[in-house]
Structure 1
């Protein structure tokens, strides 16, 4: 009898322990909530996503613009762009630049005006060398890109890019809209010409990618241009809309190749041109074309970086479209930053039009968040900050430039 009672007690204990295990596995009340494993324990909070969540719609839309302004000194127009429109950055032209000291002071003052904003500004310039140079005259002039192509020395082209980057960095810029990756295949091209490294794919790729790398290695953001290719145009897009009637097969064998190579080398920013390519989109120029920006550049070529437009106030756009609608269409087609270089009222008009499109539901705030994420990620990657620069090393830079010119001319 004692053995039987002992066996029964043993079975009861075994059953009780089994039930307890079941309670643990099923999350029974015997297990306190804080003792359960949490899926959130290993989740890393993305500070950029967190920052975007705290931004107003107006702040987000502001990041989608880089704007131009008048004058060579800090003024109310610039302050308004920063404080009221929350713009993501500025571009300077020759009209804004007198000498190296005043330019340094101007950029420092712009940074100070943005000091209450924890998002630093893009401070950009078109500095290609040759005839497209906005820097003060005290900087020794660099030769045009075609001379690099004729020399065809990768080390020289890389050093050329480094000097470009160091020159703009010395004044406080952080973005250079260069190099040109267009292939100058049309001798009658009125706008590219000797700005291109050459008229063949190999020459443009060999030298253009090296210049891009040289700029990037000075911690200046290079923006290659003008996607999908401006080299075969017969009209200057500053004046009106060029049309390139090449087949897709022809474009894939020529114009697109330098940009594909740049994407393979992790280019951070690509500028899109105002050109109509009927083979890809019969209705809209590149800057307004979803087929070209989203379908080709992003989906087909796999580019995930920042897409910036060429100046949306150029004749190719404003002679044929409403600036506000064209800028919105650029954003909706896969673009990230609209470049608005002229007109004091134009940035506000564009921002208000984008905001209205969000309010009416034709553009989602989620899409804007994705663009802002790319922009803030790029600013973080290059550790941009509105840091004051006390002086520049002009003499040293000119010595380097002279030495490089001598190597190019050998």
Structure 2
């Protein structure tokens, strides 16, 4: 195989890796022209990790999912310094959203990270959605569009590329694409009116990247998910919407596509459909070589046009050049610390009913659900920690689906729930506690249900500052 063809194939691949430093196989691949790397919380991200990547390929795109709120890779243990999208949408102040985007961009600029896979531009049209929820600015297309633009403006104003996801919109699904292939049962007219406006707005603003969703959208393509669909990525996104930046796939190990094809076949089909970068978050040396060799073989057989591969590689390199040209912006952003904005948004977004006030340490009962597959399992809700900081005798217990309610003594009780409206067992647990203790306080960190309890607080997301805002209100 020719060296140039191999280099083109390597340029369009973006693997993740295990461990806290790039393994030898990844270092070799970077030296061979690997176009990028995606980082996760498991990599214990710091300047040294990024420096090790750039030592092998200075122009590599270093990417990360740093949405704020529940999806954070840099602040996974303490919780994010910034509320997520739903809180921003509830506050509905685009200046605040841009400030949050800029501060997230500043964090990435400090680490020399090129590309942030955020914001989620999905319109959360279905309250039963198991994977988007509070990651969306809300259920209204106009609100989502204006906050998507503000967020992109903030991140890119800090000299870091932003990415609108998950095209053409993951908001009207009841299936998590990490686990299976969701279907969006919407007409083309509904897509145009509901799901596409945030992407149109982001493109008009100049977002540098768009991530495809692993979604079957029969109105666009009845047989292939958007990631593998020429109709979705080339005809619609490139043609009708006019996007000329980098199209990146959602992670190809997600079951929505991994159940259909192997890594090499997914890479070839995605490139042929119009994608430019193949994100493989759980790659290893074998799967990276499999993807590279499959791309090369597809070009040689004519299955994938070499011009299409070259175009994809050119877009990746153009994004790398865009990042390199904005060093001055990043230097300015790093010095522009806005420490108050996260808590400012959290306070503005906090929705309260009732008037209960804690004057002593409560028993915090966390009614635990797996948040969703995009959220790192180590991410805390933070409510117990925030209350403990103010009331040191606070105690915490966890209640799982099969667990028994804890003994409820005379201490105040705070129930922390997430997306209670989606989980019957959570609603039942809340009802049982309230039957025994009508004075219990309920804090919902997700898509909020109807208010119940002596006081009901909705943080509209999970973050350290959202928990702090709730604790402030409860101990005011």
TM-score by length of 2: 0.68
1:358 aligns with 2:306: no
1:149 aligns with 2:89: yes
Q: Distance in 1 between matches of 2:173 and 2:348?
A: 32
User: Could you say what secondary structure the match of 1:351 adopts?
Assistant: helix
| Shift in Å, 1:141 | 2.4
Partner of 2:20: 72
The answer to whether the Cα contact below 8 Å between 1:276 and 1:282 also exists between their aligned partners in 2 is yes
Q: Distance in 2 between matches of 1:368 and 1:192?
A: 31
TM-score by length of 1: 0.79
| Shift in Å, 1:75 | 2.6
Partner of 1:270: 210
1:105 aligns with 2:48: yes
Q: How does 1:5-404 map to 2 (within 5 A)?
A: 56-84=4-32, 86-97=33-44, 103-114=46-57, 120-136=59-75, 137=77, 141-344=81-284, 345-383=286-324, 396=337, 398=339, 401-402=342-343
Q: Distance in 2 between matches of 1:363 and 1:343?
A: 22
Distance 1:139 1:400, change over 3 A: farther
- Misfit runs of 4+, over 4 Å: 137-140, 392-410
Q: Distance in 1 between matches of 2:102 and 2:266?
A: 35
The answer to whether the Cα contact below 8 Å between 1:174 and 1:384 also exists between their aligned partners in 2 is no
The answer to whether the Cα contact below 8 Å between 1:307 and 1:335 also exists between their aligned partners in 2 is yes
The unaligned stretches of length 5 or more in structure 1 are 1-53
Q: Distance in 2 between matches of 1:226 and 1:62?
A: 24
The answer to whether the Cα contact below 8 Å between 1:317 and 1:323 also exists between their aligned partners in 2 is no
The unaligned stretches of length 5 or more in structure 2 are 351-468, 470-476
The answer to whether the Cα contact below 8 Å between 1:140 and 1:398 also exists between their aligned partners in 2 is no
Q: Distance in 1 between matches of 2:252 and 2:73?
A: 19
The answer to whether the Cα contact below 8 Å between 2:86 and 2:134 also exists between their aligned partners in 1 is yes
The answer to whether the Cα contact below 8 Å between 2:96 and 2:341 also exists between their aligned partners in 1 is no
Partner of 2:405: none
1:235-284 CA-partner distances (Å, limit 9, x unpaired): 00001100111111111110011101111112211000000011111110
User: Could you say what secondary structure the match of 1:307 adopts?
Assistant: strand
The answer to whether the Cα contact below 8 Å between 1:139 and 1:394 also exists between their aligned partners in 2 is no
| Shift in Å, 1:212 | 0.8
The answer to whether the Cα contact below 8 Å between 1:274 and 1:316 also exists between their aligned partners in 2 is yes
The answer to whether the Cα contact below 8 Å between 1:140 and 1:402 also exists between their aligned partners in 2 is no
| Shift in Å, 1:394 | 10
| Shift in Å, 1:399 | 5.5
Distance 1:400 1:261, change over 3 A: closer
| Shift in Å, 1:213 | 0.7
The answer to whether the Cα contact below 8 Å between 1:163 and 1:401 also exists between their aligned partners in 2 is no
| Shift in Å, 1:81 | 2.4
| Shift in Å, 1:374 | 1.8
The answer to whether the Cα contact below 8 Å between 2:106 and 2:334 also exists between their aligned partners in 1 is no
Count of residues in Structure 1 that have an aligned counterpart in Structure 2: 346
Q: Distance in 2 between matches of 1:140 and 1:146?
A: 14
Partner of 1:43: none
Q: Distance in 2 between matches of 1:187 and 1:319?
A: 26
Which protein has the larger Cα radius of gyration, Structure 1 or Structure 2? 1
Q: Distance in 1 between matches of 2:241 and 2:336?
A: 42
Q: Distance in 2 between matches of 1:67 and 1:336?
A: 14
Q: Distance in 1 between matches of 2:307 and 2:221?
A: 26
The answer to whether the Cα contact below 8 Å between 2:86 and 2:135 also exists between their aligned partners in 1 is yes
Which of the two has greater strand per residue? 2
1:113-166 CA-partner distances (Å, limit 9, x unpaired): 225xxxx01001000001100004468521121111011111111101101101
The answer to whether the Cα contact below 8 Å between 2:227 and 2:270 also exists between their aligned partners in 1 is yes
Distance 1:405 1:72, change over 3 A: same
1:37-72 CA-partner distances (Å, limit 9, x unpaired): xxxxxxxxxxxxxxxxx9711111111111100100
1:352-406 CA-partner distances (Å, limit 9, x unpaired): 00000111122222222222222222222222699xx99x979956566455655
Q: Distance in 2 between matches of 1:407 and 1:66?
A: 38
